[in-house]
Amino acid sequence: MPCHNGQVTGNGRLVLAGAPIGQVGDVSPRLREALEGADVVAAEDTRRLRRLAADLGVELTARVVSYYDQNEAGRAQELVEILKQGRTVLVITDAGMPGVSDPGYRLTHLAVEAGVTVTALPGPSAVTTALAVSGLASDRFCFEGFPPRKTGDRARRLAALAGEERTMVFFEAPHRLAESLGAMAEAFGRDRPAAVCRELTKTYEEVRRGGLGELAEWAAAGVKGEITVVVAGRAPGEAEPDLGELVAEVERRVAEGERRGQAVAEVAKGAGVPRRELYDLVHRRSATP
Whether 2 has a pLDDT exceeding 80, the answer reads no
- The pLDDT of residue 155 is 85
- The pLDDT of residue 160 is 84
Dihedral sign for Cα atoms in the order 23, 223, 193, 189: negative
- The pLDDT of residue 282 is 87
CB of 224 within 8 A of CB of 19? no
Rounded CA separation 105/87 (Å): 19
pTM: 0.78
* Residues 222-238: b if buried by 16+ CB within 10 A, e if exposed: ebeebbbbbbbbbeeee
* List of residues 6+ apart from 79 with CB closer than 8 A: 14, 40, 42, 65, 67, 89, 107
Whether 149 has a pLDDT exceeding 80, the answer reads yes
Whether 6 has a pLDDT exceeding 80, the answer reads no
First to last CA, the chain: 63
| Model confidence pLDDT, tens digit, residues 66-91 | 999 999 989 999 999 999 999 999 99
- The pLDDT of residue 5 is 42
Residue 277: pLDDT band (50, 70, 90) is: confident
| Model confidence pLDDT, tens digit, residues 262-273 | 888 888 876 767
Residue 162: pLDDT band (50, 70, 90) is: confident
Whether 232 has a pLDDT exceeding 70, the answer reads yes
Dihedral sign for Cα atoms in the order 99, 100, 102, 106: positive
* List of residues 6+ apart from 276 with CB closer than 8 A: 152, 155, 156, 159
Distances (CA, A) of 82 to 8, 76, 93, 116, 285: 16, 10, 19, 11, 60
| Model confidence pLDDT, tens digit, residues 115-135 | 999 999 988 899 999 999 999
**Amino acid letter for position 66:** S
Whether 8 has a pLDDT exceeding 80, the answer reads no
CB of 155 within 8 A of CB of 188? no
| Model confidence pLDDT, tens digit, residues 18-66 | 999 989 999 989 999 999 999 999 999 999 999 999 999 999 999 999 9
User: What length is written for the chain?
Assistant: 289
Whether 288 has a pLDDT exceeding 50, the answer reads yes
| Torsion, Cα of 74, 76, 79, 85 (10° steps) | -110
* Residues 8-27: b if buried by 16+ CB within 10 A, e if exposed: bebebbbbbbbbbbbeeeeb
- The pLDDT of residue 41 is 97
CB of 248 within 8 A of CB of 241? no
